[in-house]
Amino acid sequence: MRWIKNMTAGLIGSVALNILHEVVRKNISNAPQINLLGEEVVNKTLSQVGTPINDADDLHKLTLEADLIANATYYSMIGGSGKYIWPKAVALGLSAGIGAIQLPKSLGLDPRPVTRTTQTKVLTVGYYLFGALVTATVLKTLFKS
């Protein structure tokens, strides 16, 4: 039963991250364009099996769905046994954000959507930290972990 609570909290953190990202990217210059990085990953992956998505709306929708699932699963690790939720949230949030900045180039992806400026980099890390802290808050308040 604990895994359901952890996944639910992780999903809420993932949704919060994506809402924050969408609002900020539409209203602030130099905001990270994590969506573009995700779309590149999805289409490169699908191209390996010969089915890239050419419609921009379909690609955005599939990327958002994949992102929600991946981040929810990742953030669900914050719960675990219920111990050390806050340190785990900070560590996992910072790790995801730093990874989002550091890994694209080595994975053959275009890093510019998340590395254009110092502001872009800071916001990228902040988004993932925010999602992790929302997850920890849900675990602590709703599920009394």
Mean pLDDT in residue range 26-55: 93
Mean pLDDT in residue range 66-82: 92
pTM recorded for the entire structure:
0.93
How many whole angstroms separate alpha carbon 140 and alpha carbon 134?
10
- Tokens representing 139? 């675990």
Residues 6+ apart with CB under 8 A from 143: 5, 9, 79
What are the boundaries of each domain within the chain?
A: 2-141
Percent of the chain with pLDDT strictly greater than 70 = 99
Q: Is 114 in contact with 104 (CB distance < 8 Å)? A: yes
* The predicted structure's pLDDT at residue 80: 77
Mean pLDDT in residue range 91-113: 97
Confidence of residue 81 (pLDDT cuts 50, 70, 90): confident
How many whole angstroms separate alpha carbon 54 and alpha carbon 22?
22
145, pLDDT greater than 70 = no
* The predicted structure's pLDDT at residue 101: 97
In angstroms, the Cα distances linking 141 to 76, 88, 102, 120 are 15, 16, 33, 31
Q: Is 131 in contact with 93 (CB distance < 8 Å)? A: yes
- Give the position of tokens 């999903």: 11
